[in-house]
Amino acid sequence: MSPSPKVRRVCGQEEYRECEQLQRIVWGSISVSSELMSVTQKYGGVVLGVWQGKELAGFLYAFLGQHGRKLIHWSHMMAVHPTYRDQGLGLRMKLAHRRLALERGVRSIGWTFDPLQSRNAALNIHRLGAQVDNYAEDCYGHFPSIIEKGLPSDRFIVHWAIASRQVEKRLKHGPPSEQKPRAACINETLVNSRGRLENRRIHYGLRDSILLLEIPSHTELMREQDLALARRWRLETRRMFQRYFVAGYRVKDFMPPGSISPDRCFYLLAKGGRLDRRRKIE
Ligand SMILES: CC(C)(COP(=O)(O)OP(=O)(O)OC[C@H]1O[C@@H](n2cnc3c(N)ncnc32)[C@H](O)[C@@H]1OP(=O)(O)O)[C@@H](O)C(=O)NCCC(=O)NCCS
């Protein structure tokens, strides 16, 4: 039986180098060096690792920042080694980060993620109850990451109100029980002759109280096999989110595969809540 995973703060040059190595494996390059990680850890930020036995299976990097007058943690990176994904390690690190941040009086953690990465959406929105504050078009400009090579680096900017009752409730009781919401679908999709999901028709003028927006469940694979189609998905979803955000809709949840459909996944949008225009990455 494999030992249970342990989450703790990363410490010492050797462990920081292992985090660098994990960045190379996951993104193809290093964007936060071991020097920066150790300094961040000393001055208000957090670098957490999760170990399976002696092996570093994942890490999380967050620095201390300011949003308006409040101190926040900005969680710039989290990665789990491909061998260890979908075993709850990402969730464990997020929960450990939350505990640590609360102990230090920090009540909000922010980060960005690619809206087309369904695994991230499942964890961030559905499991943790993070809120989408804004949509950033090509957020980091050209991005050398192997995960999204060839695609504009669009991101949702999210914040996780770690001290709020909503988040506490979601963490304690889990996501609301799945039931197929009576909702119109913004994009009608089909599986094409090569077995890939594509948009057949997109509706921009819907006014229903709840709307669904479908995304592919494996964008990474699609990008590897059909970059042109993945780029189309990027531009089409960008337009859909931006249009409906302007019309007053917000992301309320994400339905991963197995919730309302065995292998399809959807964002759930509803009216209400403001966009946080200060949360823009220039
Ligand atoms: C994002 C990442 C850190 C998540 O780590 P992880 O350990 O796999 O996360 P978890 O196992 O805690 O959660 C993954 C969830 O996605 C779900 N999932 C798996 N495949 C999925 C898919 N194709 N679509 C949607 N959800 C999926 C899992 O079932 C799990 O949810 P559950 O716990 O409710 O069952 C990891 O995928 C990763 O390193 N990705 C590459 C780097 C990255 O994108 N980092 C984040 C931005 S910096």
What is the domain partition of the chain in residue ranges? 6-173, 184-271
pLDDT given for residue 144 in this prediction: 74
For ligand 1, the distance from its centroid to the CA atom of residue 208, given in whole angstroms, is 30
Residue 41 has pLDDT above 70, yes or no: yes
pLDDT given for residue 74 in this prediction: 98
Residue with the smallest CA separation from ligand 1 atom 39 is 79
State which of 57-71, 141-155, 177-191, 261-275 shows the largest mean pLDDT.
Answer: 57-71
Residue 1 has pLDDT above 70, yes or no: no
Residue with the smallest CA separation from ligand 1 atom 18 is 119
For ligand 1, the distance from its centroid to the CA atom of residue 119, given in whole angstroms, is 4
pLDDT given for residue 180 in this prediction: 67
Q: What tokens does 208 get?
A: 């229903």
Residue 68 has pLDDT above 80, yes or no: yes
Residue with the smallest CA separation from ligand 1 atom 29 is 86
Q: How confident is the model at residue 172 (pLDDT cuts 50, 70, 90)?
A: very high
> Mean pLDDT across the stretch 217-246?
96
Residue 38 has pLDDT above 60, yes or no: yes
In angstroms, the CA 32 to CA 38 distance is 10
If one residue of 29, 85, 155 were mutated to test the ligand 1 pocket, choosing by the most ligand atoms within 8 A of its CB, it would be 85
Q: For a pLDDT cut of 70, what percent of the chain falls above it? A: 95
Q: Which residues line ligand 1 (CB under 6 A)?
A: 26, 77-80, 85-91, 113, 117-120, 122-123, 127, 217-218, 256-257, 265
Residue 282 has pLDDT above 60, yes or no: no
> Mean pLDDT across the stretch 171-197?
89
Q: What is the pLDDT of residues 77-127, one digit of tens each?
A: 999 999 999 999 999 999 999 999 999 999 999 999 999 999 999 999 999
Instruction: Using alpha carbons, list the distances in angstroms from residue 185 to 115, 131, 208, 238.
Output: 17, 21, 10, 16
pLDDT given for residue 60 in this prediction: 98
Atom of ligand 1 nearest to the CA of 82: 39
Contacts (Cβ under 8 Å, ≥6 apart) of 69: none
Residue 152 has pLDDT above 60, yes or no: yes
Residue with the smallest CA separation from ligand 1 atom 41 is 79
Beta sheet of 249-255, edge-to-edge order: 184-185, 210-215, 265-271, 249-255
Residue 177 has pLDDT above 90, yes or no: no
pLDDT given for residue 82 in this prediction: 96
Taking all residues of the chain, what is their mean pLDDT, rounded to a whole number?
A: 94
Query: Who has greater pLDDT, 175 or 71?
Result: 71
Q: Which CATH number is 6-173 given?
A: 3.40.630.30
Q: How confident is the model at residue 175 (pLDDT cuts 50, 70, 90)?
A: confident
pLDDT given for residue 272 in this prediction: 81
Residue 28 has pLDDT above 90, yes or no: yes
For ligand 1, the distance from its centroid to the CA atom of residue 60, given in whole angstroms, is 14
